């Protein structure tokens, strides 16, 4: 080792924490993690409604382990620490021992459970091996929501500084930064991107549509996962094409104070969840909008749909997922999709955050049936689907890429391969990113895209080029 | 934070080797960062891509939409991956001195 390398090595040693964490943490707590965890847990219990829930889970949790067979992570590893019930019991044991009288007495008399540094390690690892997909919840005979326990555990851990840096820096930018979004897209860049998309749409469809920005009094205020403005032009163009073809171009707007539907609070922090929701509705209020229209993103849809009514008070605007909107347009005969455009075999991946509750399962299938001839389901699918392997914020954590591929996404990759589909529709920014990485990792000959990417190919645009014309043009481009 | 050293270049980088202070970027830094991406020789095409990203970043504060990048440089996405094997966001942007992409990117 030369002198510089030695110096570099020394610098590294001073920065790498003594304890090895599975993901990057900004300021890892160095000492007394047990005491601080209990203090944070006490504070959360004091200022939230978790106590009655935990009391109930303590009496109902039978450790029957039926959840094990539902969990894609456990099925891939066979490691008992990956059983949802095992993780949940870490939290319940701590709760019983330190926050119930019976548990405290029992521990004194029987030399029972004590929280240790090792259990903290077990939790910070285990609760980020869970993708919070909540498949296990449907299997639990007593209805324990292990996904909720994952969020609670991550919440308490985050309060003592244990949270993946990838999530923390994104949320900080969203709430405290100048751009107010997770990908740090400034307003000027947003406008430049919308102008670019408008030019692309004109080239493709033969009609000019200028994106409505900061228009007050519109029915819909549109929020996608802000990453779509960097990565998913066709999803956004598909969204625009539907709004235009349906005759609703003057009924929607994008706001420039807040244009990000992402809410990582749903994955690790109730406090952030609430504040991001408040920021979202504040933009609708500023623009005097009537409804929140969420683009193709599972957790953005779920967080808005489930928590706007909880946290927004008088500003609780109705929340619509874009697929609901598109299906309504089809049913009302306001848009037409050409049946002869998509000839490849198509499958559909259900994003857990919108499918598990049964909210959005049938809508995308009805849309696909309107123009796709060779549609095949994954088995199982719908409410019982398997997670893509990147849920619960895991997809944003680059350093656990190998875990997401070889463990969490293993079953999904196998399911996808078995369909033989050439196109996999994944209407979610999280799922799309994970599945695109999965098909590459497992070398599956399948293209992953959003639902509106496919709709863009088949939609009839009044006064524009026909889908058939566009298909011929695209074929020429490829030659 | 760590310090990345290569030749006469010494810069602060994050865990994945992205620059922490994008203002300190120059061509020497780009060449040094490129070595971490398996690019030892920055060809004309590499510079075309990196300079486009750099200019867009200075003007708009972020990388462009990938489709725009391809359209304006004339490179297909495949070509971008050939130039920088870890791709536009993690490879090319790193060499252009942008900080690590955040959120669902």
How far is Cα of residue A242 from the mean position of the Cα atoms in its chain?
23
Identity of the residue in A7, A184, A433 whose CB atom sits nearest the CB atom of B102: A184
Rounded CA gap, A412 and A394, in Å? 15
CB A55 within 8 A of CB A42: no
**For A428, nearest residue in chain B (alpha carbons):** B104
Q: Which two tokens stand for residue B39?
A: 């690019």
Write the CATH number of the domain with boundaries A33-163. 1.10.1060
Residue linked to tokens 């809410």: A263
Q: Mark whether B70 is an active-site residue.
A: no
Is the distance from CB of A414 to CB of A282 less than 8 angstroms? Answer: no
> Tokens representing A233?
């032009």
Mean pLDDT of B21-35: 96
Of B1, B16, B66, the CB nearest to A15: B1
C-alpha closest to that of A226 among B65, B16, B19: B65
Q: What digits encode the pLDDT tens for the residues B70-95? A: 999 999 999 999 999 999 999 999 99
CB A369, CB A376: distance < 8 Å: no
Taking the CA of residue B45 as centre, how many other CA atoms within 13 Å lie in the half-sphere pointing to its CB? 11
Does A259 touch chain B if contact means CB atoms closer than 8 Å? no
Sketch the domain layout of chain A as residue ranges.
33-163, 187-331, 346-478
A183 in B contact zone (CB under 8 Å) = yes
Q: What SS3 class is residue A263?
A: coil
Three-state DSSP at B97 gives coil
Give the residue among B104, B3, B92, B68 at the shortest CA–CA distance from A299.
B104
Q: Is the peptide bond between A116 and the residue preceding it cis, with omega within 30 degrees of 0?
A: no
Residues 68-87 (B) with a CB less than 8 A from some CB of A: 68
Tell me which chain A residue has its CA closest to the CA of residue B65.
A230
Structural domains of chain B sorted by starting position, each given as residue range(s) with its CATH number in brackets: 2-95 (1.10.10.370)
Q: Return the residue matching tokens 């391809």.
A: B70
**pLDDT for residue A6:** 42
- In B, which residues are within 8 Å of A186 by CB distance? 60-62
- Most B CBs within 10 A among A1, A5, A172, A189, hence the mutation to make, goes to A189
Looking at A61-130, list the stretches that DSSP marks H as alpha helix, in order from N- to C-terminal side: 72-77, 84-99, 101-110, 117-126
Kind and range of the H or E run holding A291 = strand A291-294
Global pTM reads 0.94
Q: Does A181 contact B66 at a Cβ distance shorter than 8 Å? A: no
Contact A348, A425 (CB under 8 A): yes
CATH topology for A187-331 is: Glutathione S-transferase Yfyf (Class Pi); Chain A, domain 2 (1.20.1050)
Closest alpha carbon within chain A to B72: A196
Rounded Cα distance, A73 and A81, in Å: 10
Cβ proximity of B53 and B93 under 8 Å? yes
Q: Are A227 and A259 in contact (CB under 8 A)?
A: no
Q: Which helix (H) or strand (E) holds A44?
A: helix A33-46
A143 phi-psi bin (left φ>0, alpha ψ -120 to 50, beta other) = left
Instruction: Confirm or reject contact between A398 and chain B (CB < 8 A).
Output: yes
Q: Residue B57: closest CA among chain A residues belongs to which residue?
A: A189
pLDDT tens digits, chain A, 479 residues: what are they? Answer: 444 444 444 443 444 444 578 999 999 998 999 999 999 999 999 999 999 999 999 998 778 999 999 999 999 999 999 999 999 999 999 999 999 998 888 888 887 889 999 999 999 999 999 999 999 999 999 999 999 999 999 999 999 999 999 999 999 999 999 999 999 999 999 999 999 999 999 999 999 999 999 999 999 999 999 999 999 999 999 999 999 999 999 999 999 999 999 999 999 999 999 999 999 999 999 999 999 999 999 999 999 999 999 999 999 999 999 999 999 999 999 999 999 999 999 999 999 999 999 999 999 999 999 999 999 999 999 999 999 999 999 999 999 999 999 999 999 999 999 999 999 999 999 999 999 999 999 999 999 999 999 999 999 999 999 999 999 999 998 77
The predicted structure's pLDDT at residue A14: 43
User: Does A24 contact B101 at a Cβ distance shorter than 8 Å?
Assistant: no
């Amino acid at each position: 080792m030369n002198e510089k390398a030695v110096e570099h090595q020394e610098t590294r040693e001073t920065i790498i924490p003594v304890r090895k964490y599975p993901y990057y943490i900004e300021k890892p707590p160095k000492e007394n993690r047990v005491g601080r965890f209990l203090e944070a847990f006490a504070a959360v219990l004091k200022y939230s409604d978790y106590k009655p829930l935990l009391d109930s889970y303590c009496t109902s949790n039978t450790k029957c382990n039926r959840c094990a067979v539902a969990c894609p992570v456990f099925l891939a590893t066979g490691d008992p620490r990956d059983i949802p019930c095992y993780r949940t019991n870490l939290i319940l044991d701590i709760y019983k021992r330190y926050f119930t009288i019976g548990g405290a007495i029992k521990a004194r008399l029987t030399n029972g459970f004590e929280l240790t540094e090792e259990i903290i390690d077990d939790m910070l690892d285990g609760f980020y091996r869970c993708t919070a997909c909540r498949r296990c919840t449907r299997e639990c005979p007593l209805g324990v929501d292990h996904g909720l326990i994952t969020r609670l555990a991550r919440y308490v851990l985050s309060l003592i500084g244990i949270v993946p840096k990838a999530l923390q820096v994104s949320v900080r930018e969203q709430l405290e930064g100048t751009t107010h979004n997770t990908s740090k897209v400034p307003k000027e860049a947003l406008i430049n991107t919308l102008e670019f998309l408008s030019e692309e749409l004109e080239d493709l469809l033969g009609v000019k549509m200028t994106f409505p920005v900061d228009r007050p009094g519109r029915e819909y205020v549109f929020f996608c996962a802000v990453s779509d403005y960097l990565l998913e032009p066709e999803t956004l163009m598909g969204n625009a094409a539907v709004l235009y073809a349906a005759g609703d171009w003057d009924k929607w707007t994008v706001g420039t104070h807040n244009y990000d539907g992402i809410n990582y609070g749903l994955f690790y922090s109730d406090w952030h969840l609430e504040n991001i929701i408040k920021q979202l509705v504040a933009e609708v209020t500023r623009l005097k909008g009537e409804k929140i229209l969420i683009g193709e993103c599972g957790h953005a849809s779920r967080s808005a749909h489930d928590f706007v009514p909880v946290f927004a008070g008088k500003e609780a605007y109705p929340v619509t997922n874009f697929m609901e909107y598109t299906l309504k347009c089809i049913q009302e005969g306001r848009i037409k999709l050409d049946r002869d455009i998509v000839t490849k075999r198509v499958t559909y991946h259900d994003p857990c955050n919108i499918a598990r509750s049964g909210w959005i399962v049938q809508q995308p299938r009805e849309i696909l049936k309107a123009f796709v001839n060779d549609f095949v389901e994954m088995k199982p699918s719908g409410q019982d689907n398997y997670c893509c392997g990147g849920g619960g914020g895991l997809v944003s954590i680059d350093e656990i890429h190998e875990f997401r591929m070889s463990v969490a996404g293993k079953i999904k990759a196998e399911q996808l391969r078995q369909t033989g589909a050439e196109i996999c529709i994944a209407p979610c920014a999280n799922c799309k990113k994970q599945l695109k990485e999965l098909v590459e990792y497992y070398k599956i000959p399948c293209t992953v895209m959003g639902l509106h990417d496919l709709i863009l190919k088949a939609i009839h645009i009044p006064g524009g080029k026909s889908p058939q014309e566009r298909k011929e043009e695209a074929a020429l481009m490829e030659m | 934070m760590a310090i990345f050293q290569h030749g006469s270049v010494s810069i602060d980088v994050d865990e994945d080797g992205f620059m922490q202070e994008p203002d300190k970027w120059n061509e020497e830094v780009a060449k040094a960062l490129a070595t971490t991406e398996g690019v030892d020789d920055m060809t004309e095409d590499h510079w075309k891509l990196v300079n486009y990203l750099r200019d867009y970043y200075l003007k708009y504060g972020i990388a462009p939409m990938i489709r725009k990048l391809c359209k304006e440089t004339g490179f297909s996405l495949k070509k971008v991956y050939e130039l920088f094997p870890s791709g536009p966001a993690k490879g090319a942007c790193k060499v252009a001195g942008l900080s690590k992409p955040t959120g669902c990117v």
